[in-house]
Amino acid sequence: MALKKRQGALWQRITIAVPYLWLFVFFLLPFGIILKISLADPVIAQPPFTPFFDADGGLSITIDNFLFLLTDKLYAVTYIKSIFMAATAMVLCLALGFPMAYGIARANPTTRSLLLLLIVLPFWISFLLRVYAWMGLLNNYGVINNFLMWVGFIDQPIQMMYTDFAIFIGLTYTYLPFMILPLYATLERMDLDLVDAAQDLGASRTIAFWDITWPLARPGVIAGCLLVFIPAMGEYVIPYLLGGPDTLLIGRVLFDEFFVNRDWPLASSVAIMLLLILVVPIVFLQRSQARDAEATS
């Protein structure tokens, strides 16, 4: 570590201080504020919540918001629905992404780099526009329905927009690359001879897959699943554009509590609850990545 010897030089302290302070003020401090406001009461004022200290200097906090979130049935349904939607998207991404990542990892080098490029390319194209593209396909008078009617498969449009089906499509479409890339990274490192050896010794394809390929690919599966599940939980745009008006997911509820109902304390509590749900998968993800970094270095 060449740069370590002169520990504590002025320029080093400055290099540490600048990003440290930035993250402290614009990342950590805001969480303190969310926590503070989640413990306040909503009032009709500017800003619309009660102050942290009341007039006599005493602490004025309440846990009413959290009690409300925990006891209100609507919110319980929202949380369960969000978890269910994110988990389904995760399974769909895995079902489609695993064979794709496998095929890419087994392709010859030139094809492989082109195939990978085509996976990464949608990343660079605006996320919003990619969701928008599906609106044109799934519409009652959209491309899919028009095509099916033209072929004579159906004689009136199937309702696909504004349903859970459309949300699943949108989530899978958007987060598929997040699944494929970590899977590809582990599958590419895998020794294919192991599978051949197992098959030579009489294992069927299915057995060889479940006994060898799947366990070896597990780190990639875990990373990919978490990378899909975590952002899908807080998703706002996809349920808004593709889902029905009565599809309540956490991201959208938070947005509406804040902007439509202007209940800042409740919106903050929803954020804290979302964070609490996500803490487990996030810690899990960071652990698995730290292990992965150790294994490769």
Partner 1 sequence: MKKQSRFVFSVLVFGYAFLYIPLASVIVYSFNDSKLATVWGGFSTRWYVELFKNEQILDAAFLSLRIATTSATLATIFGTMAGLILVRFGRFRGQTLFSGMITAPLVMPEVITGLSLLLLFVSLQQLIGWPAQRGFTTITIAHTTFSMAYVAVIVRSRLATMDESLEEAAMDLGCRPLRIVFDITLPLIAPAMIAGWLLAFTLSLDDLVIASFVSGPGSSTLPMYIFSKVKLGVTPDINALASLIILIISILVFAAWFTARRSQAST
Determine which residue in the list 42, 75, 79, 134 makes contact with partner 1, applying CB under 8 A.
Answer: 134
Peptide bond into 47 cis (omega under 30): yes
Q: Which of 139, 186, 213, 269 binds partner 1 (CB under 8 A)?
A: 139
Q: What residues does 42 pair with on adjacent strands?
A: 49
CB nearer to partner 1: pick between 16 and 77: 16
128 lies in the site for partner 1, by CB under 8 A: yes
Residue with Cβ nearer partner 1 (64 or 122): 122
Residue 119 contacts partner 1 per CB under 8 A: yes
Binding status of residue 4 toward partner 1 by CB under 8 A: yes
Using CB under 8 A as the binding rule, whether residue 231 contacts partner 1 is answered as yes
**Per rule CB under 8 A, is residue 286 in the interface with partner 1?**
yes
Q: Is 178 in the site for partner 1 (CB under 8 A)?
A: no
Render the burial of 6-42: b for 16+ CB within 10 Å, e for the rest. eeeeeeeeeeeeeeeeeeeeeeeeeeeebeebbbbeb
Q: How far apart are CA 175 and CA 177, in angstroms?
A: 6
Q: Which is nearer to partner 1, 20 or 68 (CB)?
A: 20
When the beta carbons of 71 and 296 are compared against partner 1, the nearer one is 296
Cα distance between residue 77 and residue 249, in whole Å: 9
Considering the rule CB under 8 A, would residue 157 count as an interface residue with partner 1? no
Cα–Cα distances in angstroms (integers) from residue 248 to residues 80, 83, 157, in the given order? 10, 12, 25
129 is a site residue for partner 1 (CB under 8 A): yes
Q: State phi, psi for 263 to the nearest 5 degrees.
A: -95, 85
Binding mask 69-98 for partner 1 (x = CB under 8 A): ---------------------------xx-
For position 26 contacting partner 1 by CB under 8 A, the verdict is yes
Hey, what amino acid is at 57?
Answer: G
- Site stretch for partner 1 (CB under 8 A), options 63-71, 73-81, 126-134, 214-222: 126-134
Tokens of 181: 């890339």
Interface with partner 1 in residues 207-226 (CB under 8 A): none
| CA 121/CA 7 separation, integer angstroms | 42
Note whether 168 binds partner 1 by CB under 8 A.
Answer: no
Query: Segment near partner 1 (CB under 8 A), from 56-64, 73-81, 215-223, 280-288?
Result: 280-288
Return the residue of 34, 40, 187, 208 that touches partner 1, per CB under 8 A.
Answer: 34
Residue-wise DSSP of 156-196: S----TTSHHHHHHHHHHHHHHHHHHHHHHHHHHS-HHHHH
Report if residue 143 touches partner 1, rule: CB under 8 A.
Answer: yes
In this structure, what is the dihedral angle of CA atoms 289, 184, 128, 266, given to the nearest 10 degrees? -30
DSSP character at residue 4: G
- Total residues contacting partner 1 (rule CB under 8 A)? 93
Nearest to 82 by CA among 227, 238, 224, 225: 238
For residue 170, the minimal CB distance to partner 1 (Å) is 10
Query: For residues 87 and 241, which CB has a smaller minimum distance to partner 1 in the complex?
Result: 241
Sole binder of partner 1 in the list 135, 148, 149, 194 (CB under 8 A): 135
124: contact with partner 1 by CB under 8 A: yes
